[in-house]
Amino acid sequence: MKKSEYSRRIFLKHAMLASAAAAVAPGLLMAKPKLAAANERVNLACIGIGNRGGEIIRELYDTGLANIVALCDVDMEAPHTHRILKQFPDVPRFQDFREMFDKMGNQIDAVSIGVPDHSHFPITMHAMGLGKHVYVEKPLARTFQECELLMKAARKYRNVVTQMGNQGHSAANYFQFKSWVDAGIIKDVTAITAHMNSPRRWHGWDPNIKSFPPAEPIPDTLDWELWHAAIAQQHDFNKDYINGQWRCWYDFGMGALGDWGAHIIDTAHEFLDLGLPYEVECTKATGHNPFFFPMSSTIVFRFPKRKRMPALDITWYDGLDNLPPIPEGYGVSGLDPNIPPPSTGELEPVKLNPGKIIYSKELTFKGGSHGSTLSIIPEEKAKDMASRLPEVPKSPSNHFANFLKACKGEEKTRSPFEVAGPLSQVFSLGVLAQRLNTKLEFDRKKKVITNNQAANDLLVGPPPRKGWEQYYRV
């Protein structure tokens, strides 16, 4: 049977199941999620097994808390899948996640989802609807509305454990930021500079392109139709769409902001109770074009007063030639072993590591990315404050163990969808401002863009292709 024929049959089957569920009772077909006993391992199915997806699988497995029971990838047997296939040679393999759930659903407790941004949403919705706990890479989804629906689904399927893969949210930075806020060290923050100035995949491309890249032969191992997931507008295959290149394109990825924002502003977003901005403005977009992300971008997110906290602006800088202003006393931006290198080749030496500068009324802090902790600057001020700093608790579990222990009922996840959803929506709004190279005014209560109808339409995006509509109903 041809792959496209099987896909059509799966489409029809799941459309019929969704219609039946809606007609009888919401959630009727959802399996009740199972919590593994304390002495049991979590039976984990892995969707996306190469590149970053493979790294996630190894991290989850290395906790000693999971059995790998199924492997799924639209490009199964491609070179980037070989390491995982060799490590787990006897685990059942699937190309279509729907077939995997059909055949092995009763053997699966949880799933890891390490696929391109545009595919996060339907796979996650499918898994949650079956009562499977989900670990999904950041950003949570590609569009604002997809994040909204995933948060709604998490509230509906309240026994399903959810975790977004911004792994620093279970490391030292998370616990330090929280304890410093609780102790009043971090307070009255009025501005944050967030920066990611490392080379990106598209920096070698021509921003003057007039169309998408030309069609190339589809690899025999790849189901290119299924790779598109719910996207209705099919693209001709080109190598610059796969193996991480998808991150470059507005149609598939979220650029530097979606890639690194969750590792840089996540703790500030949660512990300063930022929620959604009321205004987002792209003030610089070098090499702006309709297809892929700018060579450099500056985006300003404006947040209102919150309780006793003052209004706050986050200014995002990306691009090799777009370094942020550096305050006096900043010091040297040394290499931090807690910051992984970008998943791309170096085009030139990095002048400034990814990170953030936090300005409050009394203190200024500098920090890196992922699990990197903050320091007070200048150094003289840090020495003066040293005796007043609270003791920071150590993390009881890394992000992967935290998820699996939550599946077993032993912990709560630190980046559940209720936390990760609004953070990812901030990135979605930033990408819209980048894509349209403009300023957007946002109604935080109604969750609509009030000054740009085209941008407001893009909060939802175009309708999904036929056979995938059920994922957009909660």
Where are the domain boundaries for CATH 3.30.360.10 in the chain?
172-393+417-458
Amino acid identity, position 134:
V
In the CATH hierarchy, which fold is given to the domain comprising 3-169+464-472?
Rossmann fold (3.40.50)
pLDDT at 1: 47
How far, in Å, CA of 229 to CA of 245, rounded? 17
Q: Tell me the two tokens of residue 61.
A: 């497995």
Whether the pLDDT of residue 32 is over 70: the answer is no
- The CATH number corresponding to 172-393+417-458 among 2.20.25.10, 3.30.365.10, 3.90.1640.30, 3.30.360.10 equals 3.30.360.10
Where are the domain boundaries for CATH 3.40.50.720 in the chain?
3-169+464-472
Give DSSP secondary structure letters for 101-170.
HHHHGGG-SEEEE-S-HHHHHHHHHHHHHTT-EEEEPSSS-SSHHHHHHHHHHHHHTTTS-EEE--GGGG
How far, in Å, CA of 228 to CA of 322, rounded? 33
- Mean pLDDT in the chain? 91
> Coil, strand or helix: which one is 239?
helix
Q: Which neighbouring-strand residues pair with 70?
A: 45
pLDDT at 334: 47
Return left, alpha or beta for 275; rule: phi > 0 is left, psi -120 to 50 is alpha, else beta: left
pTM of the model: 0.91
Q: Tell me the two tokens of residue 467.
A: 């056979």
How far, in Å, CA of 340 to CA of 348, rounded? 17
- 339-361 pLDDT, tens digit per residue, is 566 655 454 556 788 999 999 99
Rounded to 10 degrees, what is the CA torsion of 289, 291, 292, 296?
10
> How does strand 375-377 pair with strand 439-443?
unpaired
Per-residue pLDDT band at 9 (split at 50, 70, 90) = low
- 363-421 pLDDT, tens digit per residue, is 999 999 999 999 999 999 999 999 999 999 999 999 999 999 999 999 999 999 999 99
Q: Tell me the two tokens of residue 441.
A: 């005014």
